[in-house]
């Protein structure tokens, strides 16, 4: 397993009430495997993804990255682990509007010496070689998502986490985005996509149903 959750529990304290969002989940993804996590809104998909992506810590249980327990790492070490091993794709893309497509892809690397031309290669690969000097507001939704995908890959991650990757795309562009994620997977990167879009399943190796914080 490249990335796994072991009996993970996530609770939120809101005053007197304690809300258990994730309740004892065991989950893992292999290198080169595409896993879809399905479930209705509010079932804890995003929380699970955040724990996998070291953005959030489980209240109980263990997170393992490449076999190593990363549960208790401090913020700095977690940030470094994210940089080295994990790529993110978000539903709302979150591109930086003042930067061009290429600069957006390079953004994660600017504080560590740049991507050395990898940003341009990745844009070429996702079919945006001719758009690399465009600003986000000059790109369509599908193109933005591909820039976001290229950005997620610029640090050569071992695993790619996607939160509703097709949530803001129409049918045609969804297909293209999913094909590209699939091809990333075929290069040996583990992929976890959380979604309620049934179409994503068609591209994945395995799907997991999450309901009320439990895998069913």
Partner 1 sequence: MARRNIMRNSLRSALACFGIVIGVVAIASLGILGFTLQAGFMDNMGDVANQIEVTPASGGDDPMGGTPTEDTLSDRDVRDVRQAAVGASVLPVKEEVVEIEYGTSSVTRTAYSVPEPDALFDAEEGRVPAQMSSGVLVGSTLAETTEVNVGSAVTVDNSSYRIVGILEEEPWTAPLNPNFGIIVPEGELRDEEYSSVIVEDESAEAANSTAQRIDESMNRRDDVVEVQESSEMIENIQEQQRLLNLFLIGVGSISLFVAGVSILNVMLMSTVERREEIGVLRAVGVQRTSVLKILLAEAALLGFVGGAVGVAFSILIGGVINHFMLEDALMVFRPANLRYLLTAMGFAVGISLLSGAYPAWKAANKRPVEALRG
Q: Does 12 bind partner 1 (CB under 8 A)?
A: no
Q: How far is the CB of 91 from partner 1 (least distance, A)?
A: 9
Residue 127 token pair = 């079919």
Q: Are 211 and 22 in contact (CB under 8 A)?
A: no
Stretch that binds partner 1, among 48-56, 65-73, 116-124, 194-202 (CB under 8 A): 48-56
Q: How far is the CB of 202 from partner 1 (least distance, A)?
A: 27
Q: Does 151 bind partner 1 (CB under 8 A)?
A: yes
Q: Does 50 bind partner 1 (CB under 8 A)?
A: yes
Which member of 96, 127, 202, 209 binds partner 1 (CB under 8 A)?
Answer: 96
Show contacts with partner 1 in window 51-70 (CB under 8 A). Answer: 53, 55-56
At residue 163's C-alpha, the angle toward residues 185 and 175, to 5°, is 55
Taking the least distance from each CB to partner 1, the nearer of 82 and 132 is: 82
Q: Does 11 bind partner 1 (CB under 8 A)?
A: no
Q: Does 215 bind partner 1 (CB under 8 A)?
A: no
Question: Residue length, the chain?
Answer: 216
Distance between CA atoms of residues 168 and 159, nearest Å? 22
By C-alpha distance, which of 26, 60, 36, 73 is closest to 164?
Answer: 36
Residue 156's alpha-carbon distances to 23, 28, 147, in angstroms, are: 32, 20, 15
Which member of 21, 22, 44, 88 binds partner 1 (CB under 8 A)?
Answer: 88
* Helix, strand, coil percentages, rounded to 5, for the chain: 35, 30, 35
Q: Does 75 bind partner 1 (CB under 8 A)?
A: yes
Which member of 71, 90, 173, 194 binds partner 1 (CB under 8 A)?
Answer: 90
Which member of 15, 97, 117, 172 binds partner 1 (CB under 8 A)?
Answer: 97
Q: How far is the CB of 172 from partner 1 (least distance, A)?
A: 25
E strand map for the chain: 3-14, 17-29, 34-38, 60-65, 68-69, 86-89, 159-163, 190-195, 206-211, 214-215
Number of residues that bind partner 1 (CB under 8 A): 28
Q: Which helix (H) or strand (E) holds 183?
A: helix 171-186
Stretch that binds partner 1, among 139-147, 150-158, 174-182, 187-195 (CB under 8 A): 150-158
Show contacts with partner 1 in window 23-42 (CB under 8 A). Answer: none
């Amino acid at each position: 397993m490249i990335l796994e959750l072991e009996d993970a529990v996530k609770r939120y304290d809101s005053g007197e009430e304690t809300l258990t969002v994730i309740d004892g989940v065991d989950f893992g993804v292999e290198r080169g495997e595409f896993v879809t996590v399905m479930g209705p809104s509010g079932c804890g998909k995003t929380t699970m993804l955040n724990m996998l992506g070291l953005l959030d810590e489980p209240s109980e249980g263990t997170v393992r990255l490449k076999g190593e327990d990363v549960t208790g790492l401090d913020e700095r070490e977690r940030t470094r682990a994210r940089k080295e091993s994990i790529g993110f794709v978000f539903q709302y893309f979150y591109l930086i509007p003042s930067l061009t497509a290429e600069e957006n892809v390079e953004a994660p690397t600017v504080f560590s010496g740049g991507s050395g031309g990898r940003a341009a290669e990745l844009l070429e690969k996702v079919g945006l070689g001719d758009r690399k000097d465009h600003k986000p507001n000059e790109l369509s939704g599908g193109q933005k998502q591909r820039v976001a995908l290229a950005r997620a890959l610029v640090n050569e991650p071992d695993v790619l986490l996607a939160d509703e990757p097709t949530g803001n795309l129409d049918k045609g562009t969804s297909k293209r985005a999913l094909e590209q994620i699939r091809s990333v997977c075929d290069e040996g990167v583990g992929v976890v996509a959380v979604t309620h879009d049934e179409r994503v399943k068609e591209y994945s190796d395995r799907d997991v149903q999450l309901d009320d914080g439990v895998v069913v």
